[in-house]
A and B are shown apart, each in its own frame.
Chain A
Amino acid sequence: MQGIVRNGVRIDDSFAEAFPMAATGLIITAPTRKWANQAAATATGYATSVIGCDCEAGIDAELSEDETPDGRPGVRLLFFAFSAKGAEKALVNRVGQCILTCPGTALYSAFDGDLKIKVGDSMRQFGDKWQMSKAIDGRRFWRVPVMDGEFFVESQVGVLKKCVGGGNLLIMGADWESTMRATEAGVEAIHAVPDAIMPFPGGIVRSGSKVGSQYKGMSASTNDAYCPTLKGVTRTALEDDIGCTLEIVIDGLTDEAVRVAMRAGLKAIIDMGPEKGAKRVGAGNYGGKLGPFHYHLKDLLP
């Protein structure tokens, strides 16, 4: 891998390989910023990877009072699953357990999408026949009486069928602290990009995986080529000066959103330079045969 160097940071001649996913989006509002964020954190919990969770979810943006439908503080959440049906199941469960239950919240569809899934329509019967429907500007809502007033929920939420999951950056540095510093800068830059989320804890994953395992029946296992403690004993991808690897995984509503997000992250990491931050940036792929979306790092350089 003969590299390109930008601001002292080595860039692999590699690409991120991503997959088609279905996505839905919600706007959650609450009387205060605290409770909007709380609802968002609860509803997007345990949603890091579709390998083990029902969906991949994250906060796309915090919305100010002027940006939400009802003039209260809000958040925009995105949920990604392998199919529209999977997204519907995950969303209905999550809204029922995490948004309906969260004090003060109201729920709106974030976009119209290719098709609709029933969210409020599945939630309304909680109202035990006391629920009321309201149609405003061509959209239908349910007012479900709850113990702090009313849960106001849009009857249907849009689903986009052609979204992208699995854009990524592998950030490599001398030690945990400098690598984390660079990765956090990347995460912060990607947060500002609309229509893209990073589903892992704080946007960062440390247990990157490879396909297959020495154990029978395990489809994925630790990516030993990038584990610094195995540098000497395995076929490693790490040079002597690399002591830590962290990964940012990105799901986006469009191919372009993932591209813009990766570019923003890459720029922030490169701008920090190799002394304070990362010495090398790579990307994860499976040889290019599994996923239709390829993001070559050399095309995304600032």
Chain B
Amino acid sequence: MTAFTFTLRQEPPQRVDLSALTPDRLAGKSLADIEKIEIGTTRASIKVGDLFKIAQGDLKTLRYEGGSSRFDLVGAKLLPGFSLHVDGDVGLQLGRLAKGGKITVAGSAGAYAASGNEGAHIEIKGDACELLAAPLAGELAGMSGGRVVVRGKAGARAGDRLRRGILIIEGDAGEDLGSRLIAGTIIALGKTAGRVGYLNKRGSLVLAKHPKLSATYLDCGPQELTFARLLARSLKADSAAAASLLSVKLRRFGGDTAVYGKGEILTPL
């Protein structure tokens, strides 16, 4: 069966909230019902039918033909077993609080992508803006599970307060990558900037390029780590480059000793 498809008619005139349009929430609704769902975020009304041409299909997989940086909350609270694909860009909070499933975005994502993600596998083929996988203001923890792969660049403070899960950034990372890291793993293949791993408690940062480290990270020397071998095998399908980075001997810097200090930054020798 073909995927359930939303084809974009024209660029949305305002930001739209697409959190209602996940496969699990559309189940059992008729075409007419779906077309009537209100997705506007201003006083001017905008309905699904105004913006999209719908082709019904298998609700296990949902496709957006055409995207926009005004598409907010795409795949929010997605459940395991469903998948969602966007053939274009998305706006804020992609996959926010997703419980599982798979989200792929062919374009770039706005700020707070994968915020609070609990288990979804999210792939962004373009770039991600600032605060990737980070908590919203006032929340104590960021992403708590799942896996996020960004093929392009990531903005500032990617992985802020990451609690669990794996974040892979294949391009360059913005300032303060992995700030306030609680636990989990961040792998960055490009350049890093600013205070990398600032106030990291127990998280692991694996960096392909040597970062400028804060004085609160202490050199523990080169190490053979069994966990890296297992992780490398697990990541092979998502990012061959990340897998090969984890397959070499890594130097371990323990920190951030400005706080709890049980985390680490691993870099090639």
Q: Which residues of A contact B (CB under 8 A)?
A: 29, 69-72, 106, 129-130, 132-137, 141, 143, 149-150, 152
Contact = CB atoms under 8 A, between A and B. Distances in A.
Given A69-B230, A70-B233, A71-B233, 10 more contacts: A29-B226, A70-B229, A106-B226, A132-B262, A134-B185, A134-B227, A137-B234, A149-B224, A152-B227, A152-B230
Nearest to A105: B226
A155 to B, nearest CB: 13
Nearest to B228: A70
Contacts of A152: 226-227, 230
Nearest to A134: B227
B183 A143 contact: no
A24 B267 CA distance: 37
Contacts of A69: 230, 233
Given A132-B202, A133-B183, A149-B224, A72 B229 contact: yes
A277 B231 CA distance: 50
Contacts of B231: 134, 136
Interface of B: 145, 164-166, 183, 185, 202, 204, 223-227, 229-231, 233-234, 262, 264
A150 B231 CA distance: 15
Contacts, number: 50
Contacts of B165: 135
Contacts of B223: 149-150
Contacts of A141: 227, 230
Contacts of A149: 223-226
Nearest to B226: A152
Contacts of A150: 223, 225-227
Contacts of A70: 226, 229-230, 233
A130 B207 CA distance: 22
A149 B185 CA distance: 19
Contacts of A106: 226
8 contacts: A72-B226, A135-B164, A137-B234, A141-B227, A141-B230, A149-B226, A150-B225, A152-B227
Contacts of B229: 70-72
B226 A129 contact: no
A118 B204 CA distance: 24
B56 to A, nearest CB: 33
B164 to A, nearest CB: 6
A129 B227 CA distance: 18
A84 to B, nearest CB: 27
A257 to B, nearest CB: 28
A132 B204 contact: yes
Contacts of B185: 134
A42 B165 CA distance: 35
A135 B145 contact: yes
